[in-house]
Structure 1
C-alpha cells in the first residue's frame, strides 16, 4: 500500500481533500443545502477562485450520498464558443452532463439516457432533462457551474427552458427538483447579459423562478488559522499568530490569496523555520511582482467601462457621479471581487490595491529613473522631503505625456511617487526567504 502523499496549499483549480489543505466547503454556505432540500432554483455567485467549483462538487457528492438524490455538478465553460447558436450550446451542455455523470461512478440506473432524445434546437435541453428525470429512481439536482459562460440567445434559451421545466413540475411533469446556477455574476447581471435591465419586472422572464441569490464569502481570521493549522499538524511547522493576522490583514480572507501566500512561503521560498510576519511580507511582494494569472485577470478588468467608472474615483480620491446605473456598476465590481462592499467603495484588500495601482502606474514607471534605494537613508526611514521635491520636478517634465492615457488620469500622479514605496518592496523581494527586510522599512 502506498503511503499518503504530502498535502500542499492549492492555487489552481478545485481542491481535492486527498491532495490539498482545505476547509470543509459546505459549512461555508449552509443555506445552499437548505434551499436544495426545499426543491428551490437559485443563484450561487462569488469572484473567481474563491471555492465555487469545490463547493459544488462537494455538495453534489454529499447530496448523492444521502440515497434519495442524484446530484450532478457540471460546467458550461465549453459552451461559451456557441455564442447565439442555441442548438450548438444545447448539444455541448448535454455532452458535459453526460461526461460528468460518466465520471461520477454512479450505477447505470442513475445515468442520463443514451442517446439523448432528438428534438429541434431550442427545446433539446428541457426535453433531455425531462427524459432523464422520468427514468431516474431519485430526484435529480443540477449544480450548473460557469453559467455566465453562456452568451446572448443561448443564455436566454437555457434559462427559459429551465423556467418552463420548473413550472411544469407542478403539473406532474418530471424535471430536476432543484437547480443551482453558479458563476461570477449575481442575478441582476444575468438580466443585463440577456438584454434586459436589472430593475425590469417581467412575469414571463426566465429569472422569475429563482428563489434566492447566495454569495460565497471570504475566509475569516479563524478559518485562515484553521487552514494553516492543517499544515502545522502535518509538518510541525508553525505559523505565528502575528503571521496569521498579517495574512488576514493583507488578503481580507480572499481564498486564493490565503493559499497563494502559504504556498509561496512553504514551497517556493522554502522556509523551514517558524513562519513569521517577515516571511508573509516577503511572500506578498513576490506574489505581486510575479503577477500570477489570478492577479493579472483582475488587472485586465480595469478597462471595462463599468469597472473604470467605480475604480477611477477610488484611485483619484474623489466622489463619483452617482445614479441608478452607477449603483449597478458598483454591484458588478463587487461581484468581481474588486471592492470590499457596495457602500464604502474600498478596494477589496491591500494586495489587490497594490496590484491595481502598480498596473495603472506601469506606464509612469518607464519614465522614473531614480534608484528607489536612494530615498532610504542608513537608518531605514524614507526621506519624504526629498521624494516630494523630486516628484515636483518629475511631474513638471512629464505631466502632459502621463495625463494623455485613457482613463485613470490620477494614477500617474499617485504611482509616480512610488520610489519611496518601492524601496522597501525591492528590498523585501530581493531578500532571501528567511531574511526579513529592514525593520523600519514599511511598505505603502
Structure 2
C-alpha cells in the first residue's frame, strides 16, 4: 500500500504521486531541442521528484547523469572539484553497467567525458545538477560555467544534449554574471499543485484504502497548504496516520486537531525554513504581513527577491503577499506585536461568560464586541496612542481579545482564512457556526464602501446571512455601532476609536 510522502524525492511505487504533464512536456521539448536551461522552486515543492521523473522518461534514449552539488559547499580547490565531480559521474554510469576512464587535469577537460560516453554507447548525455547554488567557490563556478558555455557552442560535437541546473531560486544573477549559455527565458519554475492535483492526490488514498476525506476536509487541505506539495502531503499524512487512523471518514474535527498541532506542537521543516528565512528580512516581512496591499512586488529588489526565491512570499497581482495560509499563520504568530500580558486586562475575573451565548447555543458576537469597546476605552491609550499602527496590528489585538473569550467557551478564532478567491481577516468558529470579520484601519469613505462590498461577497460565498466589519479610526470622536441590510444579508459595522490621551495619563 502506498502512502503520503512527506520528504522527497517521491518514489511512485511507495508514494501517492501527482503527474504534471504541462511542465513535463516543456522540459522534454527543451531536451529534444538541445536546450540548456534552469529549473527552480522552493524546497519541498517537488522539483527533484519532477527531475527524477524526467530521468525515467528519457533514460532509454539518452544517458542521464543526475548529480547534486549539495556537498560541494566546502570545496576549496579545482583538483578537489574534479575528483568529486568525476567520481559522481562514474557512480551514475554504473546504472548503465559501464564506465569511462579519463585523466582530467583541470575542469576544462571534463567535456572529454561526454565524448567518451558517446563513443561507448552511441547515446548523447543529459546532465542534471541539483542544488547548483551550493557550489559557492566563485572561481571554480566561473570556470565550470565557461566550460559549459564552450560545450554549448559545440554541443553536437561533444554530444552533451542538454544541461539542466536546478536550484531553490533563480540562478539568473549567477549565470548572467558568468556569460553562460543559460538564457533566462529558458527557465522552468515548478509550481505548487493545483486544486485538481491536490484532490487527485487525496483520491488516490481513497481508492486504495477505502478511507474517505470529507469534502470540507479536502477544501481545508487545499486552502491551508495552497497546493504546496510538502505541506499538502504532510497534512494528509497526519490525518490518515494519526488523527483518523482506522476510521472510515476523515472529518473536519480531525482536521482541526491536525491544524492545531501544525501551529502549536509540531516542528515542521517547511514552516521552520520559512520562519528562518523571514527572520533575515524581518522588517520587510512585517510590512508585508501587517501592511497588506502596500508593498509592490519587484523581483529586482534584493530583499523581495530573497523572500520570493525562498518561498516566503509570492507575487499576488503585483503586490507582495504570503500566499500559503499555513505560512501566513506561522509568520503572523512569530512576528505579531507583543502585548505584554494584555489577556489579564481583557478578561474580568468575575465575568460570567455564559452571557455571550444565547438560548440556541449561538455566539452573541455583538455582546463580545461591546465588551471589546469597553476594553479599548480603558486600555486604548496604552495600546494605540503614539504608535503608527497598521491594519494587521489592530487585527492581532482583536484576534487576541476574541480568542481569550471564545477559546474558553470551546470555540476557535482563525486569522486570514481562505474564502473562495480571497481571505477574511478573522473567522470565528463556535458550535459549528462561522462568523466572518473583516478589519480596516484609517480608511476614507470610498474605501469604506469597497470594504462593505468585500465582506458582503465573503458572506455570500460562505452561504451565511450576516457578517461583521470593524473600522479602526484615529479621526472619529467616539465608538459607534450600526447595521445595514441588503438582499437578505445583515452587516454589523463597529467603529473603533484609536485616538486617546497619552499613555502616561491612562490608568
What TM-score, normalized to structure 2? Answer: 0.69
Matched, 1:38 2:30: no
State the Cα distance separating 1:19 from its structure 2 match. Answer: 1.4
Partner of residue 419, structure 1: 400
Structure 1 position 14 matched with structure 2 position 14: no
Give, in whole Å, the separation in 1 of the partners of 2:380 and 2:109.
Answer: 62
Post-superposition offset of 1:314: 4.0
Give the Cα separation in 2 of the matches to 1:236 and 1:247: 19
CA pair 208-234 structure 1, distance change in 2 beyond 3 A:
closer
Shift of the 68–322 alpha-carbon distance from structure 1 to 2, 3 Å rule, reads closer
Task: Tell whether 2:271 aligns with 1:287.
Answer: no
Equivalent residue, structure 2, for 1:296: 272
Distance in structure 1 (CA, Å) of the matches to 2:41 and 2:73? 19
Aligned-partner Cα distance in 2 for 1:147–1:279: 40
Asked whether the equivalents of residues 421 and 443 of structure 1 are also in contact (C-alpha less than 8 Å), the reply is no
Could you say which residue in structure 1 is the equivalent of 2:130? Answer: 145
1:377-432 residue CA offsets vs partner (Å, 9 max, x unmatched): 444465234446546766755889x99xxxx9987665454424645679689xxx
- 1:216 match: 190
Aligned pair partner of 2:71 in 67, 78, 86? 78
Structure 2 counterpart SS, 1:364: coil
Distance 1:364 1:214, change over 3 A: same
Partners of 1:392 and 1:94 in 2: how far apart?
72
Higher helix residue share: 1
Q: CA RMSD in A?
A: 3.6
SS in 1 for 2:433: coil
The answer to whether the Cα contact below 8 Å between 1:252 and 1:349 also exists between their aligned partners in 2 is yes
SS in 2 for 1:142: strand
What are the equivalent positions in structure 2 for 1:67-106 lying under 5 Å apart?
Answer: 67-82=60-75, 85-102=77-94, 105-106=95-96
| 2:325 counterpart residue number | 350
Give the match's secondary structure for 1:123.
helix
CA distance in 1 between partners of 2:173 and 2:402 (Å) = 38
Give ranges in structure 2 of 5+ residues lacking alignment.
Answer: 413-428, 438-507
2:489: which partner in 1?
none
**Cα 1:19–1:73 shift into 2, 3 Å:** same
How far did 1:62 drift? 1.4
Q: How does 1:58-69 map to 2 (within 5 A)?
A: 58-64=53-59, 67-69=60-62
User: Hey, what does 1:176 align to over in structure 2?
Assistant: 160
How far, CA to CA, are the matches of 1:410 and 1:92 in structure 2?
53
Deviations 1:233-259 (Å, cap 9, x if unpaired)? 111111233322222222221111211
Q: Describe the shift of the 1:159–1:136 C-alpha distance in structure 2 as closer, same or farther (beyond 3 A).
A: farther
The residue number in structure 2 matching 1:232 is 206
- Counterpart of 1:201 in structure 2 is none
Cα distance between partner residues in 2 of 1:360 and 1:8: 35
The structural deviation recorded for 1:72 is 2.5
Determine which of 69, 74, 97 is the counterpart of 1:107. Answer: 97
* Alignment partners' CA distance in 1, 2:435 and 2:270: 25
TM-superposed CA distance for 1:214, in Å, is 0.9
Residue 322 of structure 1, CA deviation: 7.9
Query: Does the aligned pair in 2 maintain the 1:73–1:143 contact within 8 Å?
Result: yes
Tell me which protein shows more strand as a share of its residues.
2
Distance verdict in 2 for CA 1:323–1:242, change over 3 Å: closer
The within-5 A match list for 1:232-251 is 232-251=206-225
Q: What displacement does 1:284 show? A: 2.1
- The 5 A counterparts of 1:358-437 are 358-361=333-336, 364=338, 367-370=341-344, 377-378=356-357, 379-380=362-363, 383-387=368-372, 389-390=374-375, 415-420=396-401, 422=403
Counterpart contact for 1:44–1:215, Cα < 8 Å? yes
**2:142 aligns to what?**
156
Post-superposition CA distance 1:112-132 (Å, at most 9, x none): x24x42313x43544444544
Compare CA radii of gyration and give the structure with the larger one.
Answer: 2
Instruction: State the secondary structure of the residue aligned to 2:29.
Output: helix
Number of residue pairs the alignment of both structures matches? 403
Distance 1:169 1:264, change over 3 A: same
8 Å Cα contact 1:141-1:179 kept in structure 2: yes
Aligned to 1:439: 432
Gaps of 5+ in 1: 1-5, 197-203, 430-435
Matched residue, 2:309:
335
Query: CA contact under 8 A between 1:40 and 1:210: conserved in structure 2?
Result: no
Q: Please state whether the residue corresponding to 2:321 is helix, strand or coil.
A: coil
Distance 1:273 1:388, change over 3 A: farther
